[in-house]
């Protein structure tokens, strides 16, 4: 294991299992499953415009929309702790 964040990046299925046990809004949609801070970035459109977006859709599945939001928020916490930043 290279780092806690490296483990976190590869653990989408574990997090989905944990999140499946708690309540959710019931609003099901296509979620990416890989919504963590390393999968966001700036990209150029064909029209040469800069956009900020998600770049990893290889694990798209149906699920509660908030799972991606929770995964993204948790990724910031894991990365901050790995970098020894103070977290509340």
Residue with the larger pLDDT of the pair 1 and 72: 72
Q: Which residues contact 42 (CB under 8 A, 6 or more apart)?
A: 50, 51, 52
Residue 42, pLDDT > 80, answer yes
Report the DSSP beta bridge partners of residue 42: 52
Query: What share of the chain has pLDDT > 90, as a percent?
Result: 11
User: What residue has token string 């979620």?
Assistant: 31
Give me the residue spans of the domains in the chain.
29-37+60-83
Q: Is the full-model pTM beyond 0.85?
A: no
Q: What is the mean pLDDT of residues 51-68?
A: 79
């Amino acid at each position: 294991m290279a780092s806690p964040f490296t483990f976190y990046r590869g653990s989408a299925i574990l997090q989905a299992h944990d999140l499946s046990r708690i309540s959710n809004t019931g609003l099901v949609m296509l979620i990416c499953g890989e919504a963590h801070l390393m999968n966001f970035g700036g990209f150029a459109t064909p029209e040469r415009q800069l956009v900020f977006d998600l770049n990893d859709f290889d694990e798209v599945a149906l699920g509660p929309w908030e799972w991606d939001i929770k995964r993204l928020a948790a990724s910031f916490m894991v990365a901050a702790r790995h970098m020894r930043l103070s977290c509340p």
